[in-house]
């Protein structure tokens, strides 16, 4: 699943290529993922010009000079192609934008779980749960003080709290493991058991882990092009069950519960 660093990589990649570029032709092959009538989606985009590309939480936001916006939540398997028209299309390509610069922007989704919204005139309140999200995990307004106040609203296990987008937006399962490892916090520890020092370490881990990963992903996308799968080889614990902890050398634990894999070090994250 694309998480904040992956989507920040997309944002950086498209920000270098799309602003000021016109959309000449719109083709919708699989309307299921588009949360707008097909004809309305095509009419709003055809002839439009891209503005800035933004991101909030796990939404990638393609603004248009018309004032409208394409808000994409890729969910588990939504991905993009930016290529010449002659390049082979991926299976389950949902929509294609033929651009004035000779390229195509394509969205494909193997599981068809992603959601693509046409946001008219900045009316993001029409996007389900968009207004319920907490501050973006890398937003300037998410100061340590604000973060501590938001934490007080939750009482569950700390990994579940970190994953809850009404607390902080943009963190998924893989980077939750990485953040808690960097903070030295056991994923199943209750939020109410955290000390002020624990909260401070958690806040700093969120900022450092995500910003460092976003830089790595952005650099690789720029050098290698858009990936079919997420870059995960820089992660230290997630999906590394049974391997030695990079800090202490003991075996990394892997637990699967509710279709969610959790990895942590029992020695470093007591």
- Check 16, 155, 260, 266 and give the catalytic one: 260
Is residue 3 annotated as a catalytic residue, yes or no? Answer: yes
Of the candidates 102, 112, 105, 122, the one whose C-alpha atom is nearest the C-alpha of residue 61 is 122
- Check 55, 58, 106, 191 and give the catalytic one: 58
Q: Are 238 and 178 in contact (CB under 8 A)?
A: yes
Is residue 58 annotated as a catalytic residue, yes or no? Answer: yes
> Taking the CA atoms of the chain, what radius of gyration do you get in angstroms?
20
- Check 3, 165, 178, 199 and give the catalytic one: 3
Nearest-10 Cα torsion for 35, 59, 229, 262: -110
The DSSP line for 38-68 is: HHHHHHHHTT-BEEEEEEETTEEEEEETTS-
Is residue 230 annotated as a catalytic residue, yes or no? Answer: no
Most distant CA pair in the chain, distance: 58
Of the candidates 49, 60, 47, the one whose C-alpha atom is nearest the C-alpha of residue 14 is 60
CA 245, CA 235: separation in Å to the nearest integer?
12
Which residues belong to the active site? Answer: 2-3, 58, 260
């Amino acid at each position: 699943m694309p998480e904040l660093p992956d989507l920040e990589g997309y944002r950086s990649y498209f920000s270098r290529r799309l602003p000021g570029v016109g959309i000449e032709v719109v083709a919708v092959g699989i309307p299921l993922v588009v949360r707008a009538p097909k004809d309305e989606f095509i009419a709003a985009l055809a002839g439009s010009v891209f503005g800035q590309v933004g991101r909030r939480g796990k939404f990638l936001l393609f603004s248009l000079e018309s004032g409208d916006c394409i808000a994409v939540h890729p969910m588990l398997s939504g991905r993009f192609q930016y290529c010449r028209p002659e390049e082979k299309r991926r299976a389950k390509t949902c929509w294609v934008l033929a651009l004035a610069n000779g390229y195509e922007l394509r969205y494909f989704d193997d599981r068809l779980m992603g959601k693509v919204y046409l946001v008219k005139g900045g009316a993001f309140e029409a996007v389900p749960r968009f207004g319920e999200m907490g501050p973006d995990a890398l937003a300037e307004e998410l100061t340590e003080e604000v973060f501590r106040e938001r934490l007080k609203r939750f009482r569950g296990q700390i990994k579940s709290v970190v994953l809850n987008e009404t607390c902080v937006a943009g963190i998924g399962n893989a980077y939750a493991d990485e953040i808690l490892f960097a903070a030295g916090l056991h994923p199943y520890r209750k939020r109410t058991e955290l000390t002020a020092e624990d909260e401070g370490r958690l806040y700093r881990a969120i900022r450092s882990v995500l910003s460092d990963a976003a830089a790595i992903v952005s650099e690789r996308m720029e050098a290698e092009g858009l990936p079919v799968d997420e870059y995960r080889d820089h992660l230290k614990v997630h999906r590394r069950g049974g391997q030695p902890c990079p800090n202490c050398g003991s075996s990394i634990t892997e637990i699967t519960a509710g279709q969610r894999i959790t990895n942590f070090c029992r020695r470093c994250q007591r």
